Structure 1
């Protein structure tokens, strides 16, 4: 039985991926800050008949991370953790603003959630990931490689997360480590970045991002940075042929 830990799992891509994995027989540990939303998510995931544990808390909180590490380690035991998904993320203050108007404290908050927290959680869980020859999956963004006005804090955090993820891959060859750009999605976070705009033309996470990630997990190619749309296109062409 495979087990995954997914942070930020109660909405958007995190929830869609959790639902897809549960439907495929995975056991899950899911985390999020909102207790009510987490309870609803856990109840829905358990309807598939698999073990799901929900832990309320902020990944930027060291106490919460320690709780997550302890629970995951106890659940998986000697067989290890198969998949760690860093999905929890923050845009920073919205509306988004140019770097010249971004307070240092606001940048620090973004880096704390999007970079420092994933790094700390990864460090704690590397031993159990190694035991399972598991996979580290960090949700990235095209803002991590492109330079969009007002996206400086978020983009810098994703660039840093990419670098940490892929450096770990170089240092730990027993693991697979991926930074995945899911592309634009119709999510609450994306809507917050574009207040008042209609984002109905963006695909839902389950349309492109989740199928692309599932294809990646099935194929387990070399560690690296991937785009979900490309992964899905390759998987679709292979099925067609």
Structure 2
């Protein structure tokens, strides 16, 4: 059991999922994470740096707290029912669940095919990971989220709303996930439900989508995390949000009730 807020993040052995898990852990959260590659997941968690902890009242630095110990890896494939159960059980053992982030995604074939050439088995695999698995996980976690007035966050894409050539497998799967989030937001008044489009990032998945391009000009996931943290902290009305808009609000100094870090553990109910 813990009094600290608890998050569950899928697809967190790298990229945005890992960056968000580390940011939450640095702020005093307990974070259950998963990834298909067990060795990579464990190594990612083990490499999480120690972070300074501020003393109560802002009176300097009291100690260094290892964020590492706050991230709990549960390796497995989110499309597997037994693994989803293990993830939820790991969170439930902590006594609460405040946040679920459906981040795990499947891009499909690389290079991206035109729809006329898309292998149907690959299409099914994309939908299984990007649509069916998140819904199945939500069905398991809803009792915990309802009990604590928690937050569900799904990771979207601009390909969900734009008809980009060769994105006809991945994009519509994200559109389906967006609509699932919208319906859940209408059906679950006790839970804040958000679909977040993080924008282009410098990730392995993005490189797979453009195998012959230099994507070094894209921002790393760590630059997107503050916008997502703002959304989690301020809890606006359920809906679809763009990270670029949230970042603009941050830049304008519109940080809700006070400029301090709203995601510190003691501020989460």
Give the TM-score of the pair, scaled to structure 1: 0.94
Which structure's CA Rg is the greater one?
2
Shift of 1:49: 5.9
Contact 2:6-2:91 at 8 Å conserved across structures = no
Q: Quick check: 1:63 aligned with 2:82?
A: yes
Q: Measured at CA, do residues 128 and 149 of structure 1 come closer, stay the same or move farther in structure 2, by a change above 3 Å? A: same
Match of 1:43 in 2: 46
Which residue of the other structure, out of 31, 35, 44, is the alignment partner of 2:34? 31
Match of 2:229 in 1: 214
RMSD: 1.5
Q: Measured at CA, do residues 49 and 154 of structure 1 come closer, stay the same or move farther in structure 2, by a change above 3 Å? A: closer
Runs of 4+ in 1 over 4 A off after TM superposition: none
Shift of 1:50: 4.3
Alignment of 1:130-145 (within 5 A): 130-145=146-161
Shift of 1:42: 2.2
Distance between the aligned counterparts of 2:7 and 2:18, measured in 1?
13
Q: Quick check: 1:174 aligned with 2:193?
A: no
Distance between the aligned counterparts of 2:126 and 2:202, measured in 1?
21
Alignment of 1:1-241 (within 5 A): 1-45=4-48, 47-48=66-67, 50-76=69-95, 80-207=96-223, 209-238=224-253
Instruction: In structure 2, list runs of 5 or more residues that go unmatched.
Output: 51-65, 260-269
Distance between the aligned counterparts of 1:165 and 1:184, measured in 2?
21
Distance between the aligned counterparts of 2:76 and 2:38, measured in 1?
8
Distance between the aligned counterparts of 2:46 and 2:144, measured in 1?
27
Distance between the aligned counterparts of 1:182 and 1:18, measured in 2?
15
Shift of 1:136: 0.3
Give the TM-score of the pair, scaled to structure 2: 0.85
Q: Which has the higher helix share?
A: 1
Distance between the aligned counterparts of 1:65 and 1:82, measured in 2?
17
